[in-house]
Amino acid sequence: MKKIKILVVDDEIKLLQTVTEFLTLQNFSVMQASSGSEALKIFTENKKEIELILLDLMLPDISGYSVLREIRKISDVPVIILSARSEVTDQMNGFEKGADDYITKPFSLGLVKLHIEAVLKRAGKMKNILECGKIKIEKGRQLVYREDEMLEMTRREYELLLYFIEHKETVLSRETILNAVWDYDYAGDVRTVDTLVKQIRKKLGDDCNYIHTVYGIGYLFEDKADEK
């Protein structure tokens, strides 16, 4: 799957590296800039690929506002300001100059991720993707990936895997699964679920051993590959 590319602009090198490493772990592709002029150069050369910018305001050469103004002359790429300036007037100024969002420092990395996802969704740049461990599901097209490898799955296999992920860390009986995935009171053998689970496990591989058997009940999905 093509990764969303983000440009992170901040002159605090430690923070720049921390944000970059975090976003990389979240499966984004990240470019870095530690000054305003560097940010403009990188964006101009890669504007067709960069889909979001995290922009600090207090840069060593030109201000983040100046960077934002120049970017807005050539692009409507989503921009999230990251700034220690927390006054309401500063935030209003950021939005007036074309920012899509504003996060004040200090911030949690988890919060930044949520803001990025929200902005990308509003901009129509983020597909309806569900991630769990090494598995990604593109719900709109009903596609399943193990990391970047697309897996061939039948409709029932896809529906069962999606149901497991949406109800992870919950023990599900075979009867519950049948009624949910088949969408009616299934009159057949509950071992149908076992057969389907076996097929899914085989396709996911040993390194995605997320579906655990709960003896006498059914199954439990956890997004870590440890044995039960």
Per-residue model confidence as pLDDT tens digits over 46-93: 989 999 999 999 899 999 999 999 999 999 999 999 988 888 888 898
Residue 180 within any structural domain of the chain: yes
Residue 105 within any structural domain of the chain: yes
Residue 16 within any structural domain of the chain: yes
Q: Are 160 and 100 found together in one domain?
A: no
Query: What does the block give as tokens for 78?
Result: 């989503």
The last residue of a domain, from among 106, 126, 146:
126
Q: Are 14 and 90 found together in one domain?
A: yes
Per-residue model confidence as pLDDT tens digits over 120-145: 888 877 666 788 888 988 876 788 99
Q: Are 122 and 140 found together in one domain?
A: no
Asked if pLDDT for residue 164 goes beyond 50, the answer is yes
Q: Are 197 and 139 found together in one domain?
A: yes
Q: Are 45 and 67 found together in one domain?
A: yes
Give the model's confidence band at 8: pLDDT under 50 very low, under 70 low, under 90 confident, else very high.
very high
Quote the domain boundaries for residue 163.
130-221
Q: Are 184 and 81 found together in one domain?
A: no
Alpha-carbon distance of 103 to 90, in angstroms, equals 11
Residue 227 within any structural domain of the chain: no
Do 74 and 29 contact (CB within 8 A), yes or no?
no
Q: Are 152 and 122 found together in one domain?
A: no
Query: What does the block give as tokens for 93?
Result: 């100024």
List strand residue ranges (DSSP E) for the chain, in order: 5-9, 29-33, 50-56, 79-83, 101-104, 129-132, 135-138, 143-146, 149-151, 172-173, 211-214, 218-221
